[in-house]
A and B are shown apart, each in its own frame.
Chain A
Amino acid sequence: MILHTQSGLIALEHKRNIHKLEDLRPYYWEFFDAADYEDHLLSNERVFRTVISNESYSGTHAENDIYQLQLNRRLIDLAWLYLECLENGDYEVDPYLPSEPYRPELHYHCESTYYYDEYSGMAMLHDGNRPDPFRDEKEYKKVINRFNGKVRWLRPDEISHPHWLYEQLFNKRTYPQWLEVLDTWTEYTFIERSICEKLDGGDVYDTFVFFQKLTELTHLFFIDRCKMENSP
């Protein structure tokens, strides 16, 4: 038998009526009731270090890391529910536009005299729209200034369009695939080997960054800063 619906497997204990974005608020509250914000960010770092290194730091407190990953699991649930509410409700949302990475156009000239090259000369075409290479750094500073150092991973556009981040999350992996990744992470908190033998190290780092961003976004929802950000 094949189940065609791609589903979000929500691990919250009780089914409640969640129809509007506002219905999610108790869950934000619940989350930060269970985990302190700063502590959760730091613990994510610890879990990241545990899985990626050759040592296992969990020992007798193995359940701590598992608990931590379950919390991240919950953040993914919240992301899913957020998107679901957004799609079912009559909210006006900006479609997600992945920003084009800057690729300079190249101009090739002179037919080559080398047998293995077609062109022997190449120049970059200046279109006058070259992005500022320091833009990211400025954005980063802008974000941490605005939120008094509370937010370090999110970009300004992710703060003003939370669903962009959430969509990226599920574009990267489907819901069941995320569960699998969390499972793999859990497994490697026990083992004294690096998770890199199974997953790509860069991918593990990206996952970690997602965890941090999700935490920060949930925190912003919790203190209701995102709304202020969105209202002009």
Chain B
Amino acid sequence: MTDPSSKSKRVSVWLWEEDYPHSLDEKELRTPALVLREAFSQLSLTDCQYLLWEWQHCHYRPFLFQFGEGLITLFRFRKMLNKLLDVAWLTTRDVDDGHLFRICHEEKTVRLFDTTYFIALKREDLPVLCSKLKKMLSDGGGLQWWKNILNHWWRMAVDYSQLDDGGRTNPTDEIPQFMQLILMIEIQYVLAMSLDLTSVENRFATSAYLSREEGQYPFITLMKIFSKWEYDVLKENLRQAYGLLDFGMDEGYLSKHNGLIHTHHKMIALAAILAEKDDAYFDKPEIFTFTHKEVGRFWDYGRFLPFHHLSKSEYENPLATLRKFDFAELNRKLHQYTVFLVERNQFAPDDAGLHFTEFFQQLERLLETLYLFILQRIDIEY
């Protein structure tokens, strides 16, 4: 060509096969911290957790992504995740020079850890964030592999390909992938907070499992769940979720099985919100008053309800019982359980699932407490 220097410059990078931080512009390549600043000034950690969690469930539901502001939220969120992946890749490769992990001071990160709900990040990870991030990137197949994953997730959320079960390879892979992606986000969040960024208001979510509307009126949401399923059906659902321990998830029933887990996450999150409210909140009658129409067939008189797990004192004061649960731990356990179901054949000692039994007893206790609580307070206007 005319300009011989252009010869050496024109190089193809094959996106789906080579690692290259293509979503960053020159300024961002120079200072990856800019991306962190930008990302976490748009969305809070809770928003990210909520959006990613609902996004994961788009793999099982024949609906388009409808959370936040719908597809545009997902589009921007995915763009942000691409950038975060690129930053993760850059920071883990570029360890000697002005490197981001040096700014994480232990007292600060520990304080942050104690005040924030993290799904995948553990306390013992805090001193080794960099190697955790590195492991996350390399566990799959590197940067481009994760971007392909996001591309696949995107397709699941914007069209109806989840209906075509036959053509999907490795369904349920998105469950461990979710944990890895959320870990990546959480590590970067810790980094961003170490940059003296203040966390922003939640835009779309009240907690990692509830949208703003759901979290604003927790009782209405809870009543929606309880009027969709009778008490014994809910117990049966819980039993089915526990029963998965024996056979794992059935690929033909992914939507059913993940739906059970989805609902339980929501219930735990709702209970967590209720447990934080002060006593005065529960004295307002309008919170517990529903019209017959809203509640549907919620309660048949003369039915015998067994409450297996509550002691007499707990039975008498469900509110106090509710406040005793460790909800963050319950949610994390439920995540662990889901991952265990998918990966169980990789390490399958017979009693590996035993320690989940106690967890399910806790879930059942929670269900009973919530139900009892509502039974005692609810006022249905006929």
Interface residues of A (CB under 8 A from B): 1-3, 5-15, 60, 62-63, 66, 80-81, 83-84, 86-88, 93, 95-96, 176, 179-180, 183, 186-187, 190-191
Contacts and interface: CB of A to CB of B under 8 A. Distances in A.
Contacts of B70: 190
Most buried by A among B12, B29, B75, B94: B12
A139 B52 CA distance: 54
B29 A3 contact: yes
A11 B6 contact: no
Contacts of B7: 87-88
Contacts, number: 82
Given A10-B14, A84-B12, A176-B22, 8 more contacts: A1-B94, A2-B26, A9-B15, A11-B16, A88-B7, A96-B2, A187-B76, A190-B71
Interface in B47-99: 64, 70-72, 75-76, 79, 90, 93-94, 97
Contact of A62 (B6, B20, B158): B158
A84 B15 contact: no
A5 to B, nearest CB: 5
Interface of B: 1-2, 6-7, 9-17, 20-22, 25-26, 29-30, 64, 70-72, 75-76, 79, 90, 93-94, 97, 155, 158-159
A80 B6 CA distance: 13
B12 A81 contact: yes
B79 A183 contact: yes
Given A7-B11, A87-B7, A176-B25, A15 B17 contact: yes
Given A3-B29, A183-B79, A10 B1 contact: no
Contacts of B72: 187, 190-191
Contact of A87 (B10, B26, B93): B10
Contacts of B11: 5-8, 84
A62 B17 CA distance: 27
Contacts of A14: 16-17
A153 to B, nearest CB: 25
A14 B155 CA distance: 19
Nearest to B94: A1
17 contacts: A1-B94, A2-B26, A2-B29, A3-B20, A5-B9, A7-B13, A7-B22, A8-B11, A9-B12, A15-B14, A62-B71, A63-B159, A81-B12, A87-B10, A176-B22, A176-B25, A179-B22
Given A95-B2, A176-B22, A187-B76, A10 B13 contact: yes
A61 to B, nearest CB: 9
Nearest to A58: B71
A12 B26 CA distance: 24
Nearest to A61: B159
B97 A1 contact: yes
Contacts of A3: 20-21, 29
Nearest to B65: A62
Contacts of B16: 11-14
B5 to A, nearest CB: 11
A96 B30 CA distance: 34
A87 B310 CA distance: 78
A25 to B, nearest CB: 17
A7 B24 CA distance: 13
A182 B358 CA distance: 52
Nearest to A179: B22
A186 B72 CA distance: 9
A66 B74 CA distance: 13
Contacts of A81: 12
Contacts of B14: 10, 12, 15
B52 to A, nearest CB: 19
The winner among A62, A95, A191 for most chain B CB atoms within 10 A is A62
A6 B2 contact: no
A62 B159 CA distance: 8
B158 A63 contact: yes
Report, nearest first, the 10 A-B pairs whose CB atoms are least far apart: A95-B2, A190-B72, A1-B94, A7-B13, A63-B158, A63-B159, A9-B22, A15-B14, A10-B12, A8-B12
B20 to A, nearest CB: 7
Contacts of B1: 86-87, 93, 95
B133 to A, nearest CB: 15
B14 to A, nearest CB: 5
A8 B64 CA distance: 32
A100 to B, nearest CB: 17
B6 A87 contact: yes
* Residue with the highest number of chain B CB atoms closer than 10 Å, among A2, A7, A96, A180: A7
Contacts of B90: 1
Contacts of B15: 9-11
Nearest to B90: A1
A1 B158 contact: no
B55 to A, nearest CB: 15
B366 to A, nearest CB: 38
Among A1, A81, A86, which residue has the most Cβ atoms of chain B within 10 A?
A1
Contact of B64 (A6, A15, A60, A180): A60
Contacts of A88: 7
